[in-house]
Chain A
Amino acid sequence: AQSVTQLDSQVPVFEEAPVELRCNYSSSVSVYLFWYVQYPNQGLQLLLKYLSGSTLVKGINGFEAEFNKSQTSFHLRKPSVHISDTAEYFCAVHKAAGNKLTFGGGTRVLVKP
């Protein structure tokens, strides 16, 4: 079975500071990796995804993530956050030959002025 661990449940950060959200997964087979974002009172939307190729993936709103196969990690980063980045962020994993996404527990990011 695969599992997804988001190591931080909450991350407070000041505006214009960098942020990193950690995600580790366990799987014995090839996987696809995703980050979704949920703004207050909204559904989730896709931020970025890794399917193959370059391990550094760029997404919307200035976010990027790096796939590290040896460490089974897919950490999300942004060099300078805005107040509007306040949201909950979910890492998700999909087995390459499977049929469903498994989500992590989520990380709440609170950007302070």
Chain B
Amino acid sequence: DVKVTQSSRYLVKRTGEKVFLECVQDMDHENMFWYRQDPGLGLRLIYFSYDVKMKEKGDIPEGYSVSREKKERFSLILESASTNQTSMYLCASSLGQGANFEKLFFGSGTQLSVL
């Protein structure tokens, strides 16, 4: 089975801190994604990546950046955390293009609280 691992289940940070959320997948998937999940809003795409060192903005990239130095690892960075970034963050990966692209495998999520 594909495994997508997020480094922390719960994280508490202070306003203004730099925050790193890490995600690792073990199935050699080309595509990786970062979503945030908020009640009533569903999942909103922050950034995604098709390949190493490649990244594209999603629907809500403001206040975030990403890094993909290795194929299996995709990091989400909050340069200066703010309270409105308190949310559940979900990482996902998928294989290639075409019909396989849409089958996303998700991690269990990181619940980030910014105080």
Is A103 a contact of B58 with CB atoms below 8 Å?
Answer: no
Report the Cα distance A42→B106, complex, angstroms: 9
What are the residues of chain A within 8 A of B48 when measuring CB–CB? 99-100
Which positions 23-65 of chain B face chain A at CB distance < 8 Å? 33, 35, 40-45, 48, 56, 58-59
CB closest residue in chain B, given A41: B108
The listed residue (B40, B45, B56, B105) touching A9 by CB distance below 8 A is B40
Contact A46:B43 (CB < 8 A) given known A51-B99, A100-B58:
no
Please tell me if B21 contacts chain A, counting CB pairs below 8 Å.
no
Is A105 a contact of B99 with CB atoms below 8 Å?
Answer: no
A-B pair number, CB within 8 angstroms: 54
Instruction: Report B92 CB to chain A, min CB distance, Å.
Output: 8
The listed residue (A43, A90, A94, A106) touching B102 by CB distance below 8 A is A94
Please tell me if A45 contacts chain B, counting CB pairs below 8 Å.
yes
What are the residues of chain B within 8 A of A105 when measuring CB–CB? 40-42
The listed residue (A34, A46, A106) touching B42 by CB distance below 8 A is A106
Residues on A facing B (Cβ under 8 Å):
4, 6, 9, 32, 34, 36, 41-46, 49, 51, 90, 94, 99-106
Residues on B facing A (Cβ under 8 Å):
4, 33, 35, 40-45, 48, 56, 58-59, 90, 92, 99, 101-109
30 contacts between A and B (CB under 8 A): A6-B42, A9-B40, A42-B108, A43-B92, A43-B105, A43-B107, A43-B108, A43-B109, A44-B90, A45-B105, A45-B106, A46-B103, A46-B104, A49-B102, A49-B103, A90-B42, A90-B43, A94-B101, A99-B48, A99-B101, A100-B33, A101-B45, A101-B104, A102-B45, A103-B42, A103-B43, A104-B42, A105-B42, A106-B40, A106-B42
